[in-house]
Structure 1
């Protein structure tokens, strides 16, 4: 489960995947957006900020130099969007649109950049001006709606929807405007009309699940918990955190605490959801549980925007407009942690860690640190080579949740990624202690990861025990077979079994260049040089820029008498700056070029060890 409102599970799969996939609702939401040509054009504009993005950090727009004329700001804005630098893009598109206020593309581009960067207030003011000048765009309409919702001008919302909408789509078939209008009617004190508007929308089979969820929230807000309970059972609420919370709160209002507790006890991974744990504790202690998932129509509309954000982000071709919907939800309901988390995660996906951190900080200030979100954040920071920040975040998570095994695995992974192997071991020790009574499948990766850390820190006997234990749980895990098999061959132990293990790893993952490299290098260590050629050439085809693989291929070519080709591979390995990889000795390669491989090997006490393969950063890497 990832944070997300409405009736759609959030983009990236997690523990609740498979319980309620919400496929129909997701298709419904995406269908609601995709046919609209204006929003499709906006998606292309916003696409410059996502689909073609390069992994760079957000820059401070105050440092961006002013550029005169139209062409300069426009080109600077385009460059900023390609780099996903929303702040700079906002600055330059605003400049460009000021030079040509009639250009709809520039106006919409400025709105996209402002909203994406979190400057929603400025975007809304700009959208309001476009309405006053009678040249609104569809994105301006969405922002103007949000502005009126935030101001709780419910009659203004109703009037805007009725005056500025497509006649081709009736309100009862329009999930966005129809639901916003129904909530606005409730906010305007027209409860009967609001219920009628919601019920009219439930006639459509595709819309019914999500509209029933909103109608359930509206009924509960009005104190009609019996009706709310019936409706929420006909919705997709059980597929996301806020829906589950709403169901539990509604059951509590009906004095059905036993059912509420049973619902919570059936949730896999409950220990990683502090909000649900707190609910369970209150129920167990007999404390009152208020209904507070929504406090008013604005909160309900924020849920709707999060549903759109989730659907757009999780569609087969993820839409950058997802971030705008999440930003609007957070602007309308700033105390909604799900809106903040989704904004943070979408920013994180676009490598905008500085902007994402502001949202994560807001969630932490609410006392709503979510382990799953923090684990995702730690992983993203690590993959962006922001390892010190990842380590700090992992330390904070393991401190806040010392009983959560995943937090210790994450800390161990971060330490291992920084080659602090000995320091990683205690974290894995703690995780495995916590998982002592867990099913074996929960233990295999911490065992594997600890085995890697132990092997790299020179404690092979302990490492071997862990790797064998992990292999007993996952006998067909390719990277695990490869790691242990190569480790044995590197130490001249269990050679026959080790080679069979690596062959099996190749069968399981035939396109993995690292495993092919291991098979070739195993043959090399066994003196079967001719057998080593084919797998090493296959490996180099997938990993041409890896200095270690090039060095290995050079060694193999040399041993089969292809001296000229060997020298070419060694020179290529040197050109790839092997010192930076930490796995290849550049001086040794130069010695081989000067004196030949046999002479270098004769000067060495024994075979030169090399890494078994690229070890997985996380369990997700190991299971790909």
Structure 2
């Protein structure tokens, strides 16, 4: 079987890929296939004529790079040149699904099942189309003919159960789910879908039992908790539903969907079922499985599931964000932005999407646009801490330290009483204050971060090193950095800090030992290589020092660092005395 290798808001984590699934086995080969793709430059997609061989190689490279749009373009051209090639049809079909061109993929699915009667993904796509058309028996037929495996069994069973709701027999759908045997991780999917089916069918008592079980199995699973609280609002009372949401908020605070639901309850409203129709139910199944697949490394299949989910329910509150998150994981910010733009304006998640869109604009090299977008969000709601934190991070990433400190300060000013979860706000503001030459404010922030989160290795490292650099609290500072290293022994940057602290104190042999280990952990980092070169020079290993400096120079250091490195390569390291305690510095004038 040929497979085109293109490329949370939910806490459920399950191991779902198995080599007993033909598609999962094929997906496991994607990396190996990608490494065999020739490193040809991408062709101009607008070129009027492209050779068959060129289109094939370009399509293959696009697939290896998970550029599904380019892959679809090349594969369409190939199918025109060779319309009877079933392998091309299959590759184009899969690429179209990954790219979200679901309607265009359906004729290809029809062709594929004529060649391979049990083609799993083609049958899944055709079943989704049948559900969308209200053709529930046709959907069940397609599902029954698909190749099975752990994911295939669960997908087909849950979708078939939702078609039974459309056929007016919800209880038979639940029985179908309950008969399904499989791995332990099936249970969470089975319980919530059984509960949602019963709730959609108006079977109140039975729905409550199953939804309660689903929520209790994993109290940090948003969809299960939301479904159960909604049921409680209609069948128990508002206070009970609010208590369910509030328990969830202790685990995952300030989720927009929860906050929106709580606001409706406080306004005296009851909340409708999470899912009302078989089509919405099918979209929910595909979303939940797609999200789980994405967390387990099955990005290609996850995108197929999520695109089908959005095709069935374009306004699904989480499928779009999950798809965009996958694009972010795959370092495709422009595609993530295109998904965020489609989140409905009235969705509680819209502002979150706007914030994430700004972050991706910056990743895509559009800083001015990202900044403008975030500033507008903050101006429209000065209390939007998510937008403020993102803006602070944007300034920090672009070394705009005064603006960075000011922006984080606006978030901190809104805190009634800082908690452990707020340590990063003080840590990042401390960094920005330190880089902005405001050490008293920086020290206060870093101490506060450490108070909120004692033994946090990054804070221990930053504050400890800053003290060493200034000759302050040297014994305590060195102990803090050593502790940070003991907590994060494989963090090359923290190990580098310890080595550089030894260097600054004149303990050059100790510095060499730690900096050599840091280079092993981060061999391409220019700063760490530069530090090791300096330490080598101090212990008389000057040839090795020049080698490390040359390596640092070739590892794309910052412009100001590059100038210093080149000077050392020309004339060696200038003598500088070890750091002294602050009081000794004062005595020396």
Normalised to the residue count of structure 1, the TM-score between the two structures is 0.80
Residues 241, 531 of structure 1: alpha-carbon distance in 2 compared, 3 angstrom cutoff: closer
The 5-angstrom pairing of residues 406-555 of structure 1 reads 406-439=386-419, 441-555=420-534
* Inter-partner Cα distance in structure 1 for 2:423 and 2:303: 36
Q: What residue in structure 2 maps to residue 297 of structure 1?
A: 278
Corresponding residue number in structure 1 for 2:541: 562
- Alpha-carbon distance change, 464 to 438 in structure 1, aligned in 2, over 3 angstroms: closer
CA contact (8 A) 2:226 2:245 kept: no
Of structures 1 and 2, the one with the larger relative CO (CA 8 A, separation 6+) is 1
SS of structure 2 residue aligned to 1:443: helix
1:136-157 Cα distance to aligned partner (Å, 9 max, x none): 7322111111222222222322
In the TM superposition, 1:96-175 aligns within 5 A as 96-101=78-83, 103-131=85-113, 137-162=119-144, 164-165=145-146, 174-175=153-154
Looking at structure 1, the residues matched to 560 and 411 of structure 2 have their Cα atoms a distance apart, in angstroms, of 29
1:211 corresponds to 2:190:
yes
Contact kept, 8 Å, 2:465 with 2:501, in 1: the verdict is yes
Alignment counterpart, residue 550 of structure 2, candidates 571, 581, 587: 571
1:592 aligns with 2:568: yes
Task: Give the SS at the match of 1:268.
Answer: helix
Q: 1:274 to 1:500 in 2, by over 3 A?
A: closer
Note if contact 1:42-1:108 (Cα within 8 Å) is conserved in structure 2. Answer: no
Structure 2 alignment gaps of length 5 or more: 1-7, 581-589
Question: Helix, strand or coil: the match of 1:191?
Answer: coil
Deviations 1:205-229 (A, max 9, x none): 6555433422332332233323221
Check the 8 A contact 1:252/1:260 in 2, yes or no. yes
- Point out the more displaced range, 464-473 or 77-86: 464-473
**Paired residue for 2:586?**
none
The two structures, once aligned, show a CA RMSD in angstroms of 3.4
1:93 and 2:78 matched? no
Measured after TM superposition, the shift of residue 331 of structure 1 is: 0.3
How far did residue 299 of structure 1 move? 0.5
Give the length in aligned residue pairs: 562
Q: Taking structure 1 as reference, are residues 120 and 585 closer, same or farther at Cα in structure 2, changes over 3 Å only?
A: same
Task: Quote how far apart the aligned CAs of 1:183 are.
Answer: 2.1
Match of 2:5 in 1: none
1:174 aligns to what SS in structure 2? helix
Q: Could you tell me whether the CA contact under 8 Å between 2:446 and 2:459 is conserved in 1?
A: yes
Partner of 1:68: 51
* C-alpha contact 1:111 1:139 (8 A) present in aligned 2: no
In the alignment, does 2:68 pair up with 1:83? no
Relative to 1, partners in 2 of residues 1:34 and 1:381: Cα closer, same or farther, differing over 3 Å?
Answer: farther
Q: 2:177 aligns with which of 164, 180, 201?
A: 201
Query: Does the 8 Å CA contact 2:358/2:370 hold for their aligned counterparts?
Result: yes
- Secondary structure at the counterpart of residue 174 of structure 2: helix
Task: State yes or no: 1:308 paired with 2:289.
Answer: yes
| CA deviation vs aligned residue, 1:284-318 (integer Å, no higher than 9, x gap) | 22234333x22311000111111221221223x43
Instruction: Decide which of 316, 325, 331 is 1:345's aligned counterpart.
Output: 325
1:548 and 1:583 in contact (8 A); partners too: no
Q: Relative to structure 2, which stretch is displaced further, 588-597 or 501-510? A: 588-597
How far apart, CA to CA, are the structure 1 residues paired with 2:150 and 2:478? 67
Q: Give unmatched runs, 5+ long, in structure 1.
A: 1-11, 54-58, 608-624
Whether contact under 8 Å (1:60, 1:87) holds in the other structure is no
- Which moves more between the two structures, 395-404 or 554-563? 395-404
Cα deviations by residue, 1:153-172 (Å, 9 ceiling, x for unpaired)? 2232234345x245x8999x
Range moving further from structure 2, 537-546 or 100-109:
100-109
Q: 1:457 to 1:180 in 2, by over 3 A?
A: same
Give the 3 Å change call, closer, same or farther, for CA 396–45 of structure 1 in structure 2: farther
Distance 1:123 1:101 in 2: 15
Matched, 1:326 2:306: yes
Conserved? CA contact 2:163–2:278, under 8 Å: yes
For 2:124 and 2:451, the matched residues in 1 are separated by: 55
CA displacement at 1:101 relative to structure 2: 4.8
CA distance in 1, matches of 2:21, 2:311: 24
Match of residue 24 from structure 2: 40
Change (3 A) 1:411 1:422: same
TM-score scaled to structure 2, two decimals? 0.85
Deviations 1:495-525 (A, max 9, x none): 2322222222222222322223222322222
Q: Cα 1:253–1:503, aligned 2, differ >3 Å: closer, same or farther?
A: closer
The structure-2 alpha-carbon separation of the partners of 1:449 and 1:105, relative to structure 1 and needing over 3 Å to count, comes to same
Q: Retained in 2: the 8 A contact 1:351–1:384?
A: no
The answer to whether the Cα contact below 8 Å between 1:272 and 1:372 also exists between their aligned partners in 2 is no
Shift of 1:100: 4.4
CA distance in 2, matches of 1:562, 1:155: 78
Distance 1:384 1:502 in 2: 35
Asked whether the equivalents of residues 391 and 411 of structure 1 are also in contact (C-alpha less than 8 Å), the reply is yes
Structure 2: distance between partners of 1:112 and 1:511: 40
Q: Cα distance 1:103–1:491, how it changes in 2: closer, same or farther (>3 A)?
A: same
State the 1:327 CA deviation: 0.4
Is contact 1:45–1:109 with CA below 8 Å preserved after alignment?
A: no
Check whether the contact 2:19–2:25 (CA below 8 A) recurs between aligned residues. no
CA contact (8 A) 2:97 2:304 kept: yes
Q: Which residue of 2 aligns with 1:621?
A: none
Indicate conservation of the 8 Å contact 1:47/1:320, yes or no: no
Q: 1:460 to 1:339 in 2, by over 3 A?
A: same
User: 1:326-405 to 2 correspondence within 5 Å?
Assistant: 326-369=306-349, 387-388=367-368, 390-392=370-372, 394-395=374-375, 398-399=378-379, 402-405=382-385
For the structure 1 residues 267 and 370, does the alpha-carbon distance in structure 2 shift closer, same or farther, using more than 3 Å as the test?
farther
Matched residue, 1:247 = 228
Pair 1:332–1:489, CA change in 2 (3 A)? same
Query: How far is the alpha carbon of 1:376 from its aligned partner?
Result: 5.9
1:7 alignment counterpart: none
Say whether the 8 Å CA contact 2:208–2:228 is kept in structure 1: yes
